[in-house]
């Protein structure tokens, strides 16, 4: 059973889907919502840099929260656009409370 804060976070994350963000703006938005410094990591780029091929079309960005009420692992899947912005296609979350 999710806490009220977890339900709020889920609604917030689901609300990111179908929106466009610059990575820096997304970090700022996430940091504000989670009330801690968040910096997403491009897991797809890391795999490619070590020679692992990722056959997915979208990029997998991830971050973790260490705050008691939002502790967990989060994924944001995004597609690049013609602009510098990324288009959010899906989100994932796993709370570790």
How confident is the model over 40-87, as pLDDT tens digits? 998 887 665 656 665 566 789 999 999 989 999 999 999 988 888 999
CA distances to 46, 48, 73 from 65, in Å:
20, 25, 7
pLDDT, residue 58, reads 79
For residue 33, which of 14, 54, 52 has the smallest C-alpha distance? 14
How confident is the model over 2-38, as pLDDT tens digits? 999 999 999 999 999 999 999 999 999 999 999 999 9
Angle ∠(84,87,88) on CA atoms, nearest 5? 140
- The answer, yes or no, to whether residue 1 has pLDDT greater than 90, is no
Token couple for 77: 């899947």
């Amino acid at each position: 059973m999710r806490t009220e804060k977890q339900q709020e976070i889920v609604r917030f994350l689901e609300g990111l889907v179908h929106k466009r963000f610059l990575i820096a703006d997304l970090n700022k938005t996430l940091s504000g919502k989670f009330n801690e410094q968040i910096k997403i990591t491009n897991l797809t780029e890391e795999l490619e840099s070590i020679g692992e091929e990722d056959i997915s079309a979208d990029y997998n960005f991830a971050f973790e929260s260490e705050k008691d009420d939002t502790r967990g692992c989060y994924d944001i899947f995004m597609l690049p656009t013609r602009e510098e912005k990324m288009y959010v296609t899906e989100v994932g979350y796993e709370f570790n409370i």
